[in-house]
Amino acid sequence: MPLPAGAVIGILGGGQLGRMTALAAARLGYRCHILCPEPDAPATQVTDRHLAAGYEDRAALDHFAELVDVVTYEFENIPLGAVQYLAGRRPMYPGPDVLAVCQDRLLEKDFVRAAGIETAPYRAVDSVEDLVEALRAIGTPAVLKSRRLGYDGKGQVRIDDPGQAEAAWYAIGGVPAILEGFVPFVAELSVIAARDAAGTIACFPVAENQHENHILAVSTAPARRAAPVCQRAEEIGRTLADRFDSVGLLAVELFLTKDDGLLVNEMAPRPHNSGHWTQDGCATDQFEQLVRCVTRQPLGPVDVLWPTEMENLLGDAVDRAPALLSDPRARLHLYGKAEARPGRKMGHVNRRLSD
C-alpha cells in the first residue's frame, strides 16, 4: 500500500541531497523529518522538524523512529549501526545491506565483479607489505584508496612508482584500503537506477561527467556517446539495482575506455550529484523518484525533456547567482549554506542545451 499524503519520511543526513528530496516530497504531499547533528543544515531549512542528534544516539534514534513512517538516508557515511538499528523499527529504503556494501570499496568491487560486471583490477591492502605485493601484481600507475569514508577524492593517492608504497600507505592514514589499477579512461559516465517496491526498475538516461580536483564540475545528459555504450551503461545500472533487491536509488559511476569498455568505479545508494540535471531536463527528477520509491508509489517516467548541462557552483562561484538568474536557459538551485569555503558545493545550475 502506498503511504498516504501527510505521511512522514525520515531522512538521515541534512545536506543538499536531503534538502532536494524534502522539496520533492513536499510537492507530493509528504512531510520530511531530518536527523543530523549539524544546526541549520541545508535540509533542515526546508523541513518542519529537525532532530539535532548524533547518529549513534540510540535514544534519539528511538524518538526519530516514533515520528516517521519510513526512513532513507542522503549520504553513505552514516554509521551502519544506526541504519541497522532504525531498520529494525521502521521500513528503511535502501536497506542496510546495500549501505554495507556501498560503504566499503572492497565489498563494493567484489559485489560488482560477482554480478559479472567489470572494474579496474584491484587488491585488498591492509599493510605496507600487502601494498608492495599488490603493486607487483597490478603495476603502476595505480591508486590507493581507503576502503571506507572516502568521497570526492579524499582518502586516495596515486602511485606512479613502487618506491612510493610506504609514503602512500601513510598518506591515507595506514587504514584498510584497496589498490586499483589506474584506468586511462576517455570519459566518466554515470547512471542512476531506481527500483520501486514492486521491483520495477527505471534508469535515468546516462550522464557524462567532468571532474576538477576530484570534485564533479559539470554533468551533461544525455551523454553524447554511441547508443550501444549508453544502453550497456543502463543495463549495468539495472543489473546492480536488481541484484541488491532493494528499494530506492542506486547511482553507478563508470569509466569508459577507448575500446568502449565500461568499468564500474563506485556506487552510491542515494541521489547523486550527476543526477541533478533531471530536475530540469527529465520528466521525473531523481529526488521525486526516490520519494516515489520510499512511499511505495509507482515510478515516474524518465523521458528526456531536453539535453541539459548541470554545473556545480563550488565556493565563490556562488557569487555568479544573480547573473545566472537572468539567463533564460538556466535554472538555479542553491543549498542555503552560509559559508562559501573553497570546493564546497553551494548550489548548481541546470542549463538547457537545445531549443
Rounded to a whole number, what is the distance in angstroms from the first to the last CA of the chain?
A: 41
Task: Give the strand order in the sheet containing 142-146.
Answer: 122-125, 177-181, 142-146, 156-159
Nearest CB to ligand AMP, comparing residues 178 and 193 = 178
343 binds ligand AMP (CB under 6 A): no
Q: Which residues contact 130 (CB under 8 A, 6 or more apart)?
A: 123, 124
211 binds ligand AMP (CB under 6 A): yes
Using the rule CB under 6 A, which residue among 188, 208, 280, 311 binds ligand AMP? 188
Nearest CB to ligand AMP, comparing residues 86 and 157 = 157
Within positions 121 to 140, which residues make up the interface with ligand AMP, using CB under 6 A?
none
- The amino acid present at 206, given as its one-letter code, is V
41 binds ligand AMP (CB under 6 A): no
Q: Is the separation of the CB atoms in 335 and 316 below 8 Å?
A: no
Helix axes 80-87, 58-67, angle to 10 degrees: 40
Q: Is the separation of the CB atoms in 105 and 155 below 8 Å?
A: no
Within positions 152 to 181, which residues make up the interface with ligand AMP, using CB under 6 A?
153, 180
Nearest CB to ligand AMP, comparing residues 88 and 153 = 153
Nearest CB to ligand AMP, comparing residues 112 and 293 = 112
Query: CA nearest 9: which of 74, 69, 82, 75?
Result: 69
Nearest CB to ligand AMP, comparing residues 9 and 179 = 179
Q: Is the separation of the CB atoms in 15 and 66 below 8 Å?
A: no
Cα separations (Å) of 301 from 187, 198, 201, 272, 355?
27, 16, 11, 18, 21
Element holding 241 (H helix, E strand): helix 227-244
Within positions 264 to 283, which residues make up the interface with ligand AMP, using CB under 6 A?
265-266
Nearest CB to ligand AMP, comparing residues 27 and 211 = 211
Nearest CB to ligand AMP, comparing residues 266 and 288 = 266
Q: Is the separation of the CB atoms in 307 and 354 below 8 Å?
A: yes
214 binds ligand AMP (CB under 6 A): yes
Size of site (CB under 6 A) for ligand AMP:
13
- Scan for cell 549501505, then name that residue: 99
Angle made by CA atoms 4, 297, 1, in degrees to the nearest 5:
55
113 binds ligand AMP (CB under 6 A): no
Within positions 232 to 261, which residues make up the interface with ligand AMP, using CB under 6 A?
253
Using the rule CB under 6 A, which residue among 143, 207, 293, 324 binds ligand AMP? 143
182 binds ligand AMP (CB under 6 A): yes
Within positions 64 to 93, which residues make up the interface with ligand AMP, using CB under 6 A?
none
Q: Which residues contact 278 (CB under 8 A, 6 or more apart)?
A: 192, 204, 221, 284, 285, 286, 289, 302
Please report how close the Cβ of residue 345 comes to ligand AMP at its closest, in angstroms.
15
Nearest CB to ligand AMP, comparing residues 293 and 310 = 310
120 binds ligand AMP (CB under 6 A): yes
Please report how close the Cβ of residue 65 comes to ligand AMP at its closest, in angstroms.
32
- The amino acid present at 176, given as its one-letter code, is P
Using the rule CB under 6 A, which residue among 10, 13, 95, 150 binds ligand AMP? 150
- Strands 187-195 and 248-256, how do they pair? antiparallel
Nearest CB to ligand AMP, comparing residues 183 and 290 = 183
Q: What is the DSSP letter of 94?
A: S
The binding site for ligand AMP (CB under 6 A) comprises 120, 143, 150, 153, 180, 182-183, 188, 211, 214, 253, 265-266
